[in-house]
Structure 1
Amino acid sequence: MLSPDEFREEYPPERLDDELPDTPITSLRTIQYLYGKLYTLATAGGGTYGPYLTPDEAGDLIDTDDSLIVVRVDLSGEQPVLATDGSGPIEVTRYSADLVERVGHCKYPAAAGIDHSITHQAGRNSDPEKLARYAKERLTKWATDPVVQEASGDHEDGWIVEALATLGEDDDALDRIEDELTTKLGGESTTALLTVRVKTEPDGEYQWPGDLDVFKEAMRQRKLSKLVTKNKADDSSGEATDLVTGQRTRTVGTSEDPQNYFLGKQLEKFPGLDIEEAWRTHSISEDAAVTVMNAETFVEACKYPTFGAKVYYLPYFFGRASTEEIYELYNLLYQATTEDDDLTPVEKACEDFQDQDDTALRFYVSAVMPHQMSRYDVFGETLNGRLLYPRDLARHHNRIVSDTSAFNTDTDWSAPLPTNENWGLLTADDEALHSVSSGWYFYQTFAERDDEEADADDPRIEALVSVLGGDAIAVETLLSEYVDRIIADEDDDDLEGFPSFRVASQFAQLCALATETLDLLTTDDPGKRPITIEPDYEVDIMESLEDIQIIPDGGHPAAPKLESFIEDTPAIARTSNADEVLDEADAEHRQSVRNQRRGAFMLGALVGEVGSYQEYSEDRSTTLVDQFPVKSITQSRVKKVTREAIGKTLTYTRQEKKSGGSFPGTKFEHVVEELRKTIVKPDPDDWDIDTEDLRFYYALGVTYGLNDHPEWDNQADDTEEDI
C-alpha cells in the first residue's frame, strides 16, 4: 500500500480528481465506495481491472522464499505443451513487489473453491502434494470453469484459455507438473501463490496473467458472477439506478458487504424479500459493488470492539471532498490500517486535527452486534458524527472534576463531592478522550453486564453511539442505569462502605453530558427537564474556615457550601435562571418535582452525615447508611427514614451536650433545617417523583453527607476499594 507521500506523488490533484466520484457523500454506501476507490488506487492502481485485484491478500508473501510457483506453458506451436526451455515446466521463485500487478491475483474469500483469477493462493505451509494439485487445477479447473469459458468464448484471445483446458486433459503433462514441482521444492512445504505463464509466439516471451486481457476479463466475470448467485440465487440482476453513482445500469442483488448490512440470509430484515429480485431492493452496479467490497481493509481499520459489539467510526468530509481533503482522509485511513497502537479511531483523528478546523470532517458511526456467522444486528447508525462531541465531552468532564466548586475547594472545609486520583472519572487526566471513545466512560457508571452475552439493547452501547454521533441520551436511561449500578455495588460483599466514588463519578458524568454546547441529555418528562440543564458551579466560592465560623446566629460553617451547591444545581435548586429556557406551561409541575428531588437529596445528606458520625465518633460497624441502602428508598418510606435520621441527630446532639459540648442548635442543623422545609410540604405520600430519580438523588445526598467534613479529615483512609 502506498504511503501518504507516495500516494500524493502517484496521484497529483488533477489525476486524483479524475479517479474519484463526482457525487457527495450521502450514505454508508458512498463512504464505502470512496474507501474502496482509495484502497484500490493505493494497492492495485486504477483502470478497469484494478478494483477486482486483491494484492494485499498475499502481501505477506512478498520477498519470501519459494512464494511463487509458476506453471510455464508454450502455446506457440500447433498443440499446447509444457515449457522445455529455461527453468522448464515449473518455476519456483520469489513473489516480489514488481510482480504484484503482473501476477494479477484476485482472492475468492471462501474456504472451499478456487480463486477468481488464474493465480491461486495456497494455504499456509501447504505440502508438495497439495501444491501440485493446485498447480494442475490452473488447467483442469480454472480454465474449464463455466464462467471462464463463457468469458473467453466472447474474447478475441479466448483460444488461450481453450488451449490451457486442452493441456489439462493430458495426463502425462499433469504428472510431469507434479513431479517437477515436488523435485524443485525438495519435498518441503511452503506458502505460495500458484499461477501460469504462457508463450503465444515462437520468438515471444512468456507472459504473466496481468499481461493478457483475456485472463483479466475472465477473472472479472468470475467475481461478478458471485454478485448475482450468492445465497442460491440463479441470477439476481437487472437494470436499475445505481445507488452509488446515480446512473442507470445493470445492478446486482447479492453483492458482499464489508459490514454485513445487506445479507440475503437475513430475511427478517427484509420481509418478503425475493432473492432473485434483490437487485431492486438494493440496486448497486457491478463495478460499484466490487469497489465497495474493496473498502473492507479501511473499514475494518476504523472499528474497535467494546461491550461485545463492534463500533464503526468512519471518517469522511462533508459534501464532495476537495483533493486536499482526500489526501488528509487517505492519511487517516493509512494510519488506522498500518499503525499498531491502542488508540481508538476517535483519538487518532483528534491527534491529526487538533490544530486544524475540523468542521467539515464527519464520521459515520454505528455499532454492530454479531450473533452468528454473517448474522448481525445494526443499531445507533448516524452520518453526523463529529470530533466535537467526544472531544469536548472529555474536556468538560475534566473541567468539572478539576475546576468547579462541586468537586474542589481551597478552604478548610471539604468540597461537596469527593475526588480520587485512582478513579478515572474523578480526576482530570489525558485519558479522558480514550475513556469516552472506548466506552469505558459508561462502563464505569452503568449497570454491569456480561459482554459475552451482550445484546442490541445494551444501553452502554446506545449511550456510546449517541455521544459519538452527537445524539442526546435519555435522562431516564441514565438514572435507571446509575441506580442499578449503585445498588449492585452496595450488595457486593467485596466492596466496603457506601459507593460514594461511584455516585460522584455518575454525577460528574451527568453534569458533563448536560453541557449546553453539547446538549447530550434529553427527556420528554417536564419534571426531569432541570436535570438536562448545565449546572453553574464556580471555583473558590467559600471564605476561609476562620471567617465563616464567625456567624452571629450560630450557623454551621458548611451551610454556605450547601446553599451554593443547591442553588447552582438546576435539578434541585429552589429557583433557577435555567427556567427561562423551559416551557412555562410545565413550570408548576417542574418545580414540584424539583422540590421533591431536593428533599430526596437532603434526606440522603442527613443519612450520610449521621452515618459518618456513627462510624468515626461512635465506632459503629453498622450505620444509618447501611440501615437505609438505596434500594430500600421508596416514596412510601421517605417519612420513616426522615424520622429515623432526625431522631438520631437529636440523640447525638443531647449526648454531646451532656458530655460538655457547647454549640447552639442541633448537630447537622444546616442539613436538618433544609430537610424539614422540603419534606413537610408537600407530604411525601403525595410525591410523584419517579423511583429512579428519587433513589439517585438520595444516593447523591448520602455521598454529599459522607463528604461533609473539615478538609483535614481527608487524611483518613478511604472506605472503598480503589478501582
Structure 2
Amino acid sequence: MLSPEAFRDAYDDEELAEELPDSPTGSLRDLQYLYGKLYTLATTGGGEYAPYLTPDAAGDLIDTDDSLIVVRVDISGPEPRLADDHLGPVWLTRYTEGLVQQVSHCKYPAARGIDHSVTHQAGRNSDPEKLARYAKERLTKWATDGVVREAADAHEDGWIVERLAELSEDALETIEEGVKKSLGGESATALLTVQVKTESDGEYRWPGEIDVFLEAMRRRKLSKLVTKNKADDSSGDATDLVTREPSRTVGTSEDPQNYFLGKQLEKFPGLDIEEAWRSHPISEDAAVTVMNAGVFVEACTYRTFGAKVYYLPYFFGRPTPEKARDLYRVLHDAASTDDDLTPVERAYENREELFDEDYLRFYISAVMPHQMSRYDVFGETLNGQLHYPKQLAFTHNRLVENASAFATEEGDDWTAPMPTNEKWELLAGDDNRLHAVSTGWYFYQTFAGRDDTDADADDPRIQALVNVLSGEPIAVDVLLEEFVSRISSEETDDEYDGFPSFLVASQFAQLCALADGDLELLTTSDPEKEPITYEPTYDDVDTMPTVTEILATDGGHPADAKLESFIQETPALAPNSDGPSVTAERRGAFLLGALVGDIGSYQEYSEDRSTTLVDQYPVKSITRSRIKKVTQETIAKTLTYTRQEKKEGRSYPGTKADYIVDRLRETILDPDPDEWEIDTDDLRFYYALGITYGMNDHPDWDNVESDDQPDLKEEH
C-alpha cells in the first residue's frame, strides 16, 4: 500500500478527480465505495480491472523465497508448447511488490475451488505434489471453467485461453516434474501463475498484460455476486445507487460490514433473493469496489461489549483531490498503526494536521453478531462528529475538577455537595477520559451490573455509547432506570461496604455532563422530567466565595448556604413557579435523602451505631406511598438527637440539621405525597443523590481550625 506521501506523488489533481465520485457522501454505500476507490488506487492503481485484484490476499508472500511458481507457455506457433529458453517451462522465483499488478491475483475465498484469476494461491506449506497439481490446473481447470470460456468466446483474444487448454499430456507431465524438481522435495507457500508468449518474436507476458485474462477474471468474480445465498441470478438492469447511472446491477454482493445479505431481514424485509437487485441495486463494478473497502473499514472498527463499533471518517461535501488525500492519510494511518487507540482517539490526536474539523464526519453504528450470520445493528448514522465524545470527556473533567458541585476553593472550610475521590475514575480529572467514552467504559461504570462485559441485543450500554458517538440524545428514563438498578444492587452486595456514595456521585456527574448545553445529549418526552435535561449552572470554584467569606457577609451557616446554592443551580431541583409540580416532589426526595444521609453519618460516627438510617431506608424501599412515613420517622429521629445533645450540654440554636428539616417540611409533609406523580426511578435516584449529599455535608476537617470555627466541629 502506498504511503500518504507516495499516494500524493502518484496521482495529480486531474488523475485523482477522475477516479473520485462526483457527488457528496450520502449513504453507507457511497462511503464504502470511496474507501474502496482509495484502497484500490493505493494498491493496484487505477483502471478498469484494478478493483478486481486482491493484493492483500497474498501480501504475506511478498519478498519471500520460493513464493511464485510460473508456468511458461509459448502459443505463437501452430501448436502450444512449453517455454524452452533459459528460464524453462517452470520458473520458481520471488513474489515482489513490483509483480503485484503483473501477476493480477484475484482470490476466491472458498475452501475448495480455483481463484477467479489464472493466478492461484496455494495453501500454507503445500507439498510439491499439490503444488504441481495446482500448476497444471491453471491450464486444465481455470482455462476450461465455464465462465472463463464464456468470457473468452466474447473477447477478440479469446483464442489465448483456448490454446492454453490444448497443451498435451506430455507437456502437463513436464510441468509436474518441473515443479517438483524446482522445489527439491520441499513444501512451500506460493502463488501459481502463467506467462504466455503470443508472438514468435515477442516476450513472455504476465496475466496483467493480457486483457482476456483480466476480463475472464472479472466475469468469474462477478458471477459469484449474483449467486450468493443460493440465488440463481440476482441481477438486472437498474440505476446504480452509488454512481446513479443505468447499469447491470447485482443484489447479493459481499459487504465489508455484512449488511444487505440474504439473512439480514431488517435490511431486506420480505426478501426474494432473486429480486434483491431491485431492493438494493448496485452495479457490478461498484459492488467490487465496495468489497475492497474492507481493509479500511476494519481499520476504523473496534470491539466493545462484544459488539463491533464502526467509526468511519469521511468529509462533508463533494470529494476533492485534496480532501481525498487527507482522508487517505487518516485511513492509511489507521490501517498501519498498531496501538490501543480507538478511531475516536486517533482522529482527535490528528485533528490539527488534517482538514478542517468542521468538515469531518463519521459513519457510526454498532453491530452485535449472532448465530447463523445474523446481526443486530444499533444506532446507524452518517452524521457523527468528533465533537460529541471529545466534548463529553472535556465537560466531565471540568465538572469534577472545577464545578462548585464537586470542588471547593483551596482552603475552604466546608466540603462540596458531592464527594470526589482520586481512586474513582469518574470523580477525578482523567487524561484518558476520551478512551473511556469511546469504548463505553464510561457507562459500564455506572449502568446496571451484568454478569460480563458482553452486551445483549437490547443492552442500554451499547445504545448509550452509539448515542454519544453520533450526537443522539439519551433518554433520561433509560439513565435513571440503569442508575437506580445499579445503586440497588450495590446496596445489597456484600462486596461493598456501606452506601455506594461514590457511585451515585459518579452517576450525577454523568447526568450533568450529558446535559451540557453545548452537547444536549439528554432528552425526554415527559415534560415532568424536562428539567433534568437542562444544564446545571454551577460556578467555577475559582470565582466562588469561600465559606469564610459567606459567613462574613451574611452571618449564616455554611451548610444552609451550600444547600440553597446547590438546589438553585440544579434545574432538576430548583423551585420554579412555572415549572412542573414534579420538580418539587423530586426536591422533596432529595431533601429526605440529605437528612437520612446527614443523620445516618451522625449515628455512625457519634453514636457508633452499625445500623443507621441509611441502612434502615435503602433506596429500593422508597416509594410514593412510603416516603411520608420515612420523612416523619427521620425528622422524629432528628429531634431526638437534638434533645439528647442539648441535655449533654452541646447546645446550639434551633433543631439539628434545621436547614434541611425546614425545607423538608415544606416539600413532603405538605402537600401529601399520596398525591405525587413522580416516577419511581426518578424518586429513588434523587433520594440516593440526597443521601450522598447528606453524607458529604460536613466541615472539611483538614482545613478547619478548631479555634476559628468551634461551632462547626461541635455540630458535626
The answer to whether residue 150 in structure 2 is matched with residue 161 in structure 1 is no
Report if the CA contact (8 A) 1:409-1:539 is conserved. Answer: no
Q: Which residue of 2 aligns with 1:435?
A: 436
2:408 partner letter: T
Residue 509 (structure 1) aligned with residue 510 (structure 2): yes
Instruction: Tell me if the contact between 1:542 and 1:560 (Cα under 8 Å) persists in the aligned partners.
Output: no
> In 2, Cα distance between the equivalents of 1:236 and 1:591?
58
Alpha-carbon deviation of 1:88?
2.6
- On the 8 A contact 1:596/1:689 being kept in 2, the answer is yes
Aligned in 2, Cα 1:438/1:571: closer, same or farther, shift over 3 Å?
A: same
- Is the Cα contact below 8 Å between 1:542 and 1:561 reproduced in 2? no
C-alpha distance in structure 1 between counterparts of 2:42 and 2:132, whole Å: 33
Q: Is the 8 A contact 1:556 1:669 kept in 2?
A: no
The residue that corresponds to 2:137 in the other structure is: 137
Q: Report deviation, 1:279.
A: 1.1
1:116/1:9 CA distance change after superposition, 3 Å: same
Separation of aligned partners in 1, 2:112 and 2:474: 46
Superposed, 1:66-465 pairs within 5 Å as 66-167=66-167, 170-267=168-265, 269-354=267-352, 357-372=356-371, 374-410=373-409, 411-450=412-451, 454-465=455-466
Question: Distance in 2 between the 1:706 and 1:713 partners?
Answer: 17
Paired residues, number: 700
**What are the Cα deviations for residues 413-463 of structure 1, in whole angstroms up to 9, with x where unaligned?**
100001112222111222111111111111111113355763331111111
**Which secondary structure state, in structure 1, belongs to the residue aligned with residue 288 of structure 2?**
helix
Amino acid at match of 1:29: R
Q: 1:148 to 1:619 in 2, by over 3 A?
A: same
Cα pair distance change 1:551/1:153, threshold 3 Å:
closer
The alpha-carbon distance between structure 1 residues 531 and 189, as it changes in their structure 2 partners (threshold 3 A), is same
Name whichever of 85-94 and 480-489 sits farther off. Answer: 85-94
Report the counterpart of residue 712 of structure 2 in structure 1: none
User: How far apart are residue 506 of structure 1 and its match?
Assistant: 0.9
Tell me which moved more, 14-23 or 542-551. 542-551
Measured against aligned partners, the alpha-carbon deviations of 1:592-637 in whole angstroms (never above 9, x if no partner) come to: 1000000110111111111211222222222221221111111111
TM-superposed deviation, 1:90: 2.0
| 1:646 paired residue among 635, 639, 658 | 635
What SS does the corresponding residue of 1:712 show, helix, strand or coil? Answer: coil
SS of corresponding position for 2:366: strand
1:686-697 correspondence runs (5 A):
686-697=675-686
Query: Cα distance 1:525–1:145, how it changes in 2: closer, same or farther (>3 A)?
Result: same
In the superposition, relative to structure 1, how do residues 3 and 257 fare at CA in structure 2: closer, same or farther (>3 Å)?
Answer: same
SS at match of 1:566: helix
Unpaired runs of 5+ residues, structure 2, are 705-716
Task: State the 1:319 CA deviation.
Answer: 1.7
Offset of residue 114 of structure 1 = 1.6
Return closer, same or farther for 1:370/1:562 CA change in 2, 3 Å cut-off: same
Decide whether aligned partners of structure 1 residues 135 and 634 sit closer, same or farther in structure 2, where only a CA change above 3 A counts.
same
Deviation per CA, 1:626-664, whole angstroms, max 9, x where unpaired?
221111111111122212322222222223222221212
Q: Is contact 1:308–1:451 with CA below 8 Å preserved after alignment?
A: no
- State the partner residue of 2:713: none
Residue 131 of structure 1 deviates from its aligned partner by 2.0
Q: For the Cα contact (< 8 Å) 1:103–1:208, is it kept in 2? A: yes
Give the distance between the partners of 1:104 and 1:464, measured in 2 at CA.
42
TM-score (ref. length: structure 2): 0.94
Q: 1:676 aligns with which of 665, 672, 680?
A: 665
Distance 1:268 1:710 in 2: 58
The CA distance in 1 between the partners of 2:187 and 2:447, in whole Å, is: 53
2:620 to 623, 631, 639: 631
Q: For residue 580 of structure 2, give the secondary structure of its aligned residue in structure 1.
A: helix
* Alpha-carbon distance in 1 for matches of 2:67, 2:124: 11
Contact 2:443/2:464, CA 8 A, preserved across alignment: yes
2:27 maps to amino acid: S
AA matched with 2:478: T
Please state how far the C-alpha of 1:163 moved relative to its aligned partner: 2.0
Normalising by structure 1, we get a TM-score of 0.93
Mapped to 2, the partners of 1:486 and 1:137 lie a distance apart of: 67
Could you tell which deviates more after superposition, 264-273 or 691-700? 264-273
CA distance in 2, matches of 1:626, 1:551: 38
d(CA) in 1 for partners of 2:452 and 2:296? 26
Structure 1 residues 3 and 679: alpha-carbon distance in aligned structure 2, compared to 1, 3 A threshold: same
Distance 1:131 1:612 in 2: 79
Q: Which amino acid counterpart does residue 472 of structure 2 have in structure 1? A: D
The separation in 1 between residues aligned to 2:554 and 2:376, in whole angstroms, is 66
Could you say if the C-alpha distance between residues 257 and 714 of structure 1 is closer, same or farther in structure 2, counting changes exceeding 3 Å? farther
Report Cα offsets for 1:171-211 as digits up to 9, x if no partner: 44334333332232222222211111122233332211111
Aligned-partner SS, 2:166? helix
Q: How far 1:519 moved relative to its partner?
A: 1.2
Identity %: 71
The whole-number CA distance in structure 1 between the counterparts of 2:121 and 2:127 is 13
- 8 Å Cα contact 2:305-2:454 kept in structure 1: no
Letter in 2 for 1:599: G
1:144 is aligned with what amino acid? Answer: T
Q: CA RMSD of the aligned region, Å?
A: 2.0
CA–CA distance in structure 2, aligned partners of residues 116 and 446 of structure 1: 50
Bigger shift: residues 124-133 or 597-606: 124-133
The answer for the alignment partner of 1:53 in structure 2 is 53
Match of 1:594 among 578, 583, 594: 583
Question: 8 Å contact 2:231–2:274 — kept in the other structure?
Answer: yes
Distance 1:179-1:616 versus aligned 2 partners, 3 A rule: farther
Instruction: Determine if contact 2:603/2:612 at 8 Å carries over to the other structure.
Output: yes
**CA drift at 1:218:** 0.5
Letter in 2 for 1:327: R
Distance 1:194 1:335, change over 3 A: same
* Contact kept in structure 2, 1:236 and 1:276, CA below 8 Å: yes
Q: Which residue of 2 aligns with 1:583?
A: none
Shift of residue 20, structure 1, vs aligned partner: 0.8
Change (3 A) 1:390 1:267: closer
Opposite residue 498 of structure 2, the aligned amino acid is: G
User: Secondary structure of 1:56's partner?
Assistant: coil
| Aligned-pair CA distance for 1:379 | 2.3
Identify the residue that residue 31 of structure 2 maps to in structure 1.
31
**Structure 1 residue 42 displacement after superposition:** 0.5
Native 8 Å contact 1:199 1:207 kept in 2: yes
